[in-house]
Structure 1
Amino acid sequence: MRKAIINGEIFIGNRFYKEKVLIFENDRIVDIINEVDFSKDGIEIIDAENNYVVPGFIDLQLNGCGGVLFNDDISEKTLETMYKTNLKYGCTSFTPTLITTSDENILKAISLVEGIDKEKYGVLGLHIEGPYISVEKKGIHNPKYIRKADEAIVDRIIESGKENVRIITLAPEKTEGKIISKLHSAGIGVALGHTNGTYEELKEKEGYGITLATHLYNGMSSFNHRNPGAVGTVFDSDICAGIIVDGFHCHYSAIKSAIKVMGERLYLVTDAVSPVGTDMEYFYFEGNKVYYKDGKCFGEDGTLGGSALTMDAGVRNLVKHCDITLEEAIRMATLYPAKAVKIDDRYGKLQPNYFADIVFLDKHLNLKKVIAKGIEY
């Protein structure tokens, strides 16, 4: 049965429209029409009650939530828990993120995602973050598993394809150009991250097919006017990057600067871990004890260990602290990540033939309703 959303401010293209009706059937949007042209006959009505109506949020870096971590339990049950928790915060699509671990776990994660109905859980494919990273910029990653790229594992990733592995994060200075090129040619997004590379090293490797960067500013060589590092490489490129807008990972001023430099190449991510949606005080992340207190996740040495950010909170932080419009904040959580991994032909917009992933926000940007693949939650 067709359903119609009425009485909302619907985000279409670059702005909000009143007196529009969004019609969807099953898991797809079928039409957006003027209110005056709408007939209610045979259509179920959903009253948006003057709330904002925006696309479902897309998170390209999510380690866990709802009390679970993907690294801890690589299972369909974990993905289901992550998805159900995500929906409470407006996130309808995500890349479950596997941080530095064993080959056995990487292969297990690939096989899992190959074998499930990904759309059922909002899964866009894996984000494999590590293990081919820099020890100097490892963050909370376990150094025990950090290693050079293994051609057999890389070939297995390529065999699985971009539908199952969307992103792989690696340190380019530690990785041969031919491996980066093979991954890029297969359509898999190669992201620089947890890298201590110099500007010169990274620019040289960029040419092999680096199109993304993982959690801008964090886990990478910093910008200096004489040594621009990884941050300078991202700024001086066409690379798209995720950024964690929680107030802990980056100063809001640094986020504002990145927005001004990068524009639509910058998108919101959470890098969330298991405490999201729970009252957990600590957890273990690949052998490291990580504490959760006052919204912050940190190891025993003070190293940040993921975040407790949610996508809706990230949007609020962008508007409140980063001097951008609500429209741009919404795009950073929807269209820009979709473009970064080349799925903006069906995700990231409210438009006919796109998935019916829809979020209602009140005027304080609090979540009121979520529709994912046409199902109301």
Structure 2
Amino acid sequence: MRNVRCSCAITYAYGRARRQVERENINCFQYPTYSSPFSSLSQRFPTPAYSATMSYLLTNCTIYSGTTVLHDHAVLIKGSHVAAIVPEVAAHADIDRVDGRGCNVSPGFIDLQIYGGGGALFSVDPTVESLQKLQAYVRRHGTTSFQATMPTNSPEMMREALQAGHDYQQAGYPSLLGIHLEGPYINPVKKGAHQEEFIQQPATDAVAELLTIGKGALRMMTLAPEVTTPEIVALLRRAGVVLSAGHSNATYAQGAAAFKGGFTTATHLFNAMSALESRAPGLVGAIYDADSAHASIIADGVHCDFAAVRISHKMLGKRLFLITDAVEAGTHGAYRFRRAENRFVDENGTLAGSALSMMDAVRNCVQEVRLPLEEALRMATLYPAQVLALDDELGLIQPGYRADLCLFNADYEVQGTVLAGELVWNG
């Protein structure tokens, strides 16, 4: 065993068996090439067969497993999954090692609402190529799983988004959890930056068509409870789609009924929803009062004050999770955004999305909201996994879970991203 030293954050001890695997004929998309100690190898995403040959220890790091914080321990990765967490002194000397260089290690981040990044804006270009760029972008920021999001748009664009999501998943990319359709069944009063011309009244036939086109790619849908019919709710639930209340002017009673009738989460708490008032608790009040409803929140200090994040965490606890709501600048299509300091706005100056990464959101929750780091990390990992009922395989570092990891330093800079046991970003 030999260590290859480099200026990067991670030092890798190469394994003999891994080096023998032929990867030239992998049938998948080509990723952008980054400078790393792996540059002599193909930058293509590994097939499951390749991952199955891997076995190594991640050492010299502080492990935030999601249930505890461990020092002087190592993560044993076999194939694409975590096999064990062991004391470093008890680790076998003949196992290949990755030196974490003193980094913090958490589960890979899970972003359930992102529109664009890395030069791609899925909202206006819903293609496999956009998903490829978006995936490469989020990996640089520690995110290993995401839902590409399409806001209220034309029926054609909605269909294209679902088809692209289906095609991408069929190609074998585990990062894309599915497509999040944010609309078109929303309340015009709370449309925010959504294009009113594309807002529709719910129609069972139209929803059935989306489900057919997506072939399982439709994972989440944001709807306004007050404009949604029980038939639509039942149809989406039967298809396994997670229903999220958002862009809604629902009364408290309408919101409470929605959370009892099939809605399990809410989209960007406070933004584009009826507020909590003394005589009209609104959708925010219904979210707070529900026993099991989750809610996403954008912790950038722009979409909502950090004090509002802190108060909401006190109210919701593990039901509050982080999203980025990130967009990319664009000058064509229905959604044209420009960056305005730490946010994106549309042509009318309406707040349209964030310039946030998930690592930024975690840092803000620690430094501004004043939450413990381990809890901020759970808001970006375990809690979103629970929303999609994937918390038996994602969101924790423990035996049997997929080896999705984020390595970051004390300055909240991502130093490495591991997906299914494979280093896919080396900072």
TM-score range, shorter chain: over 0.9
Return the offset for 1:285.
7.4
1:291-332 deviation digits (Å, cap 9, x = unpaired) = 202111112433111111000000000001112100000000
Scaled by the length of structure 2, what TM-score is found? 0.83
Q: Say which is worse superposed, 22-31 or 68-77, in terms of deviation.
A: 22-31
Determine which of 169, 179, 190 is the counterpart of 2:232: 179
Give the number of the structure whose alpha-carbon radius of gyration is greater.
2
2:360 matched residue in structure 1: 313
SS in structure 2 of the partner of residue 58 of structure 1: strand
1:55–1:334 CA contact under 8 A, matched in 2: yes
How do 1:218-367 and structure 2 match up within 5 A?
218-237=271-290, 238-275=292-329, 283-284=330-331, 287-367=334-414
Farther off after superposition, 134-143 or 172-181: 172-181
The residue that corresponds to 1:77 in the other structure is: 129
The CA deviation string for residues 138-170 of structure 1, in whole angstroms up to 9 with x for no partner, is 011111100112212322344578952211001
Change (3 A) 1:205 1:299: same
Q: Is the 8 A contact 2:122 2:148 kept in 1?
A: yes
- Over 3 Å counting, the alpha-carbon distance change for 1:300 and 1:112 in structure 2 is closer
Larger displacement relative to structure 2 (150-159 or 96-105): 150-159
| Inter-CA distance 285–373: structure 2 relative to 1 (3 Å threshold) | farther
CA–CA distance in structure 2, aligned partners of residues 13 and 300 of structure 1:
41
The change in CA–CA distance for 1:64 and 1:164 in structure 2 (over 3 A counts) is same
Could you say which residue in structure 1 is the equivalent of 2:252? Answer: 199
Cα distance change, pair 200–162 in 1 and its aligned pair in 2 (3 A): farther
What's the counterpart of residue 144 of structure 1? 197
- Structure 1 gaps of 5+ residues are 276-282
In structure 2, relative to structure 1, the CA distance for the partners of 1:67 and 1:59 (3 Å cut) is same
The verdict on how the C-alpha distance between 1:13 and 1:316 changes in structure 2, with shifts beyond 3 A counting, is closer
Q: Counterparts of 2:260 and 2:416 in 1: how far apart (Å)? A: 43
Whether contact under 8 Å (1:93, 1:124) holds in the other structure is yes
Equivalent residue for 2:78? 25
Q: For residues 258-290 of structure 1, what are the alpha-carbon distances to aligned partners after superposition, in whole Å with 9 as ceiling and x for unaligned?
A: 000000000000000014xxxxxxx24753432
| C-alpha distance 300-107 of structure 1, shift in aligned 2 (>3 A) | closer
**Partner secondary structure for residue 92 of structure 1:** strand
Pair 1:62 & 2:127 matched: no
- Contact 1:56–1:90 (Cα < 8 Å) also in 2: yes
Relative distance call for 1:45 and 1:163 in structure 2 (3 A) is: farther
Q: How far apart are 1:205 and its partner, in Å?
A: 2.9
Paired residues in the alignment total: 369
Query: In structure 2, how many angstroms separate the alpha carbons of the residues matched to 1:174 and 1:196?
Result: 10
Q: TM-score, normalised by structure 1?
A: 0.94
Q: Are residue 131 (structure 1) and residue 178 (structure 2) matched?
A: no
SS at match of 2:261: coil
Please tell me whether the aligned partners of residues 61 and 94 of structure 1 are also in contact (alpha carbons under 8 angstroms). yes
Q: Pick which of 56-65 and 68-77 moved more.
A: 68-77
SS of 1:272's partner is: coil
Tell me how far apart the structure 1 counterparts of residues 214 and 327 of structure 2 sit (CA, whole Å). Answer: 26
Whichever residue aligns with residue 3 of structure 1, its letter is Y
Q: CA deviation at 1:19?
A: 1.7
Q: For residues 161 and 24 of structure 1, what CA distance do their matches in structure 2 show?
A: 33
Question: What RMSD over aligned residues (CA atoms) do the two structures have, in Å?
Answer: 1.7
For residue 144 of structure 2, what is the amino acid of its counterpart? T
- Kindly indicate whether the alpha-carbon contact (under 8 Å) linking 1:161 and 1:187 is maintained by their aligned counterparts in 2: no
Could you tell me the percent identity over the aligned residues? Answer: 36
Give 3-state SS (helix, strand or coil) of 2:353's partner.
coil
Change (3 A) 1:326 1:162: farther
Aligned to 1:278: none
Equivalent in the alignment of 1:35: 88
Q: Taking structure 1 as reference, are residues 82 and 313 closer, same or farther at Cα in structure 2, changes over 3 Å only?
A: same
Shift of 1:191: 0.5
Q: Structure 2: how far apart are the matches of 1:144 and 1:312?
A: 35
CA distance in 1, matches of 2:214, 2:348: 38
Give the AA of the match of 1:375.
Answer: E
